[in-house]
Structure 1
Amino acid sequence: MLDGNPSSENSRPFLITSRLSYFPSITSNIISPEQTNNFYDNYISLEETIYSRTDWYCNRGIVIFYKSNKTKKCLCPPSYFGSRCQWQNQRISLTLQFIYHSSTYLISIFQILITIIDQQREISSYHEQITYVPKRDCNTKFNLYLLYPDQPKNSSSNYSIHIDICNKTDLTYWGSWHLSIPFQFLPVNRIATQLFLSSNEQPTICPLSCGIHGTCIAYINKNSSYFCKCNQGYSGIYCQKEHNCSCSSDSLCITSSICICPINKFGSKCYLKHSFCQSCENNGLCIPNDNRFHLTNNFTCLCQEEFYGIRCENTKNQIDIEFNEEIIKKISLIFVHYITAFQNAKHQHTTTLKKIIYGQNTIKLFITQPFHIILIEISKQNYYLAVLRERFIQSENIKTKMLSNQKCFHINELLNKTLQLYPLYNRIKYYPMICRQYKNLMCFYDEFYMCICDFDRFSNCFLFNQTRIYNCQNDEQFFQDNITCPTVIMQLNVNFQQNDFFIT
């Protein structure tokens, strides 16, 4: 036993190596002292090699060499700073998704400016810009970093996010949003939101006096919230400060350090021109892609309505439909149903909305997807068979007239009263007889099926969903062409007594 006295003869260490044996058993590959020294020398050399590698030097950044490759410097991402990118910036991590709907086929391009402002509406020099193309960026979520004007940030200031949007083609102002920063005391904030692009109708009375160099503007996303939008060369909460603009003459000057460039230019002052936008055909509009969000191509071609393809090189199928004046009377829009049949799968049903220009009785449809049947709905459940195809022909130009004999009748107009009272599974077995009974009939339908009378006078029936997609807000009804990524949306005023649709 140990008596605890270090000077005692019986005093022993707690652990001795004698008689410990070996586990696992010793092998013949015993390292000699010389080999041991070489091992430690190699280990130290390896360790020095690892820590001297350039990819470890700047942590989150990129190392660069200058002065004959003897001096190293670090290029840091926006979220880090320091001589070796070792410190995190105080910042806002922002995720934005924009929702835009149009009632017509338009090539729309927007430039979006995102800045941090304080309570005096002083704009930080660090900003972000996004070129938003609804046709290209419908489902895109833009992830950005916004840095505070001072590092560390001024804890006595209340910051917020100001977002401006303008039309990229002519640099005209469109509207603005305001986002609050919920937790000002945090060094890093995370904000994610959806912003809806709509016509920003300005109020007739505005409470702010913006002087002769500004205009009072209401924010799109906040009721009773206003700001002074300053003219070029002026800034401040009431546009009272004057600053010099160094942007190119065809760009839009926001502050002395922020410029919004036209489509064909880029750079901090918009003096550089894009060189790769030369390949869009058929009057397609070339839009440079931002490498932060689009990694595939350097550009996007926005095609005219009748063309499609990566470079707008392909021609869509064009369908010209002329309406009888009695059919089109008092109708301002129609629904177009495209039906594509598959041999061993459910058919595809796509619906679009088409305006009828006042004083005209002809419409033009452009389509790229294969189809076999086109049905025109001129009022609620009032269908006409417009086009019938056994096979799809690429880039075909179809011209047809809409006559009264192309109308699809409801099944109750074709069956006698006794058969009308039958359940569906009993009534449907009489459908093959209808096309043979009515020699001039082209189509008919019930609450579930649409039936086409084929060349042999057989009833070719398929499930037909008559419900359209509406987005109801405050008892208003909207039609949108796609439930996940709509590009066309129209507000409808539906008169169910007259079974007519009108655009409001």
Structure 2
Amino acid sequence: MDVVERCQFYLNLLLTSNSSSSSLMAIHIFYNCTSPRFGPLCQYSLNAYKSHHLTLHEMICEFYLHEYEPTILTCYIHLQWDRGSTSVSLDWSEIYDGIIDCQNGVDEEDCWQVEINECEYNEDRCLNGQCIPTTFFHDDPNIFECIDRSDERLSQQRLFINMSGFTGDRCEITDNKILVSFHRDIILPDSLLAHFTQVIAGTPPTNDSTFKRIPINQNTLIINWSYPFHIAFVQFFNKHYYLITVQKKYHQSTTITREIQPSNRCPHINEVLNETIVKFHLLRRIKYYHLPCQRHSSQLFCFYDDNHFCLCNNFGQQSVVNCFEFNYTKKFDCFGQSNGENGA
């Protein structure tokens, strides 16, 4: 562009005067480059150029439409990676990008625990924590500004990063606020997962989760949640689950206060059914799932097996069980259907 401007400046001088300036400019050589060469001396070229390209914009658009993948990669040496049959080394941009590149999954392991910096008010956050200008977020499905391409990724994933307690296009909706405290007999970890389940008639329940850190020497926790839910429970990383609340009807922008008691723990099916029944096939075993609820009607609120989360409910004078599928083996590593909140 600067070459074009200098050339035009010279032409303008020729039209307006015969000054020494135009004489000096006359000794400058302007190269008329042939595509794809460009630059003051035609020393540059674009490898993506094709004969049918008329503009630089066409060249760039077609380049990214063909799923650009970098071929020159730096080798990330700080992980013991194993890519199976391929000998290609691990690039730093492949760490925590939502795609498992190593056979043992080490490149995505525990990425939900990564502390992520705060983005500026005019920036949006990529799934890997990178900050990009808001104007580039969801601006073109074929051009990616995030290294992990999450700025244009079309999926049903949701990343819960609302740190102010509000949501909506204009932040006009107050989040649900859940104030959770734990009984002193419950040994708290330094972090946990809060799971939220929405039940819609005629469709399978939907599950979303958020990661929370527990401040040192505190037994209370505030969880802001922006989406409808009917069941909420927390998961410690020692496989202990505690029920927070069950609500038949969802109420938007409400505050729920709960103290979690030891009795709110949801035991594994091995703890509430005898060994013989536990060894039954699931289709046969699940027929007995009402028994723990009836035997411990006032003390048991929930339990789980390897595939289901179950609630004990009172129906008239009888205690019944309601179970829904829940994937306990899912790794919360920022890909698939896993969701995370990057906050303390």
If the length of structure 1 is used for normalisation, what is the TM-score? 0.39
**1:307 to 1:104, Cα distance in 2 relative to 1, 3 A:** farther
**1:351 to 1:461, Cα distance in 2 relative to 1, 3 A:** same
Deviations 1:126-163 (A, max 9, x none): xxxx95249x83796574xxxxxxxxxxxxxxxxxxxx
Residues in 2 aligned to 1:383 and 1:407: alpha-carbon distance in whole angstroms? 6
> 1:132 aligns to what?
133
Query: Of 301, 307, 321, which residue of structure 2 is paired with 1:459?
Result: 321
> 2:289 aligns to what?
431
> 1:483 aligns to what?
336
Query: Of 451, 469, 474, which residue of structure 1 is paired with 2:331?
Result: 469
> 1:322 aligns to what?
181
Count of aligned positions: 229
For residues 24-423 of structure 1, the aligned pairs below 5 Å read 88=55, 93=60, 95=64, 103=114, 107-109=118-120, 132-133=133-134, 137=137, 143=143, 195=147, 304-329=163-188, 331-423=189-281
In the alignment, residue 323 of structure 2 is paired with which amino acid? Answer: C
Deviation at 1:488, TM superposition (A): 4.5
Q: CA RMSD in A?
A: 4.1
Structure 1: gaps (5+ residues): 1-78, 113-129, 144-191, 198-292, 294-301, 471-478, 491-502
Moved over 3 A (4+): 86-92, 94-107, 109-112, 138-143, 482-490
Residues in 2 aligned to 1:311 and 1:371: alpha-carbon distance in whole angstroms? 22
> 1:443 aligns to what?
302
Structure with more contact order per residue of length (Cα contacts < 8 Å, sep ≥ 6): 2
Mapped contact 2:209–2:339 kept (Cα < 8 A): no
Residues in 2 aligned to 1:333 and 1:376: alpha-carbon distance in whole angstroms? 10
Residues in 2 aligned to 1:420 and 1:338: alpha-carbon distance in whole angstroms? 27
SS at match of 1:467: coil
Mapped contact 2:301–2:312 kept (Cα < 8 A): yes
**1:372 to 1:106, Cα distance in 2 relative to 1, 3 A:** farther
Deviation at 1:91, TM superposition (A): 9.6
Report which of the two has the higher share of helix: 2
Mapped contact 2:231–2:245 kept (Cα < 8 A): yes
Mapped contact 1:109–1:131 kept (Cα < 8 A): no
SS at match of 1:374: strand
**1:385 to 1:139, Cα distance in 2 relative to 1, 3 A:** farther
Residues in 2 aligned to 1:486 and 1:108: alpha-carbon distance in whole angstroms? 19
> 1:259 aligns to what?
none
Deviation at 1:109, TM superposition (A): 3.4
SS at match of 1:337: strand
Residues in 1 aligned to 2:250 and 2:57: alpha-carbon distance in whole angstroms? 58
Mapped contact 1:318–1:398 kept (Cα < 8 A): yes
**1:334 to 1:487, Cα distance in 2 relative to 1, 3 A:** closer
If the length of structure 2 is used for normalisation, what is the TM-score? 0.56
Structure 2: gaps (5+ residues): 1-35, 39-52, 70-92, 99-110, 124-130, 153-160
* % identity of equivalent residues: 25
Deviations 1:281-307 (A, max 9, x none): xxxxxxxxxxxx9xxxxxxxx964301
Structure with the greater alpha carbon radius of gyration:
1
Deviation at 1:382, TM superposition (A): 1.2
Mapped contact 1:385–1:406 kept (Cα < 8 A): yes
In the alignment, residue 405 of structure 1 is paired with which amino acid? Answer: S
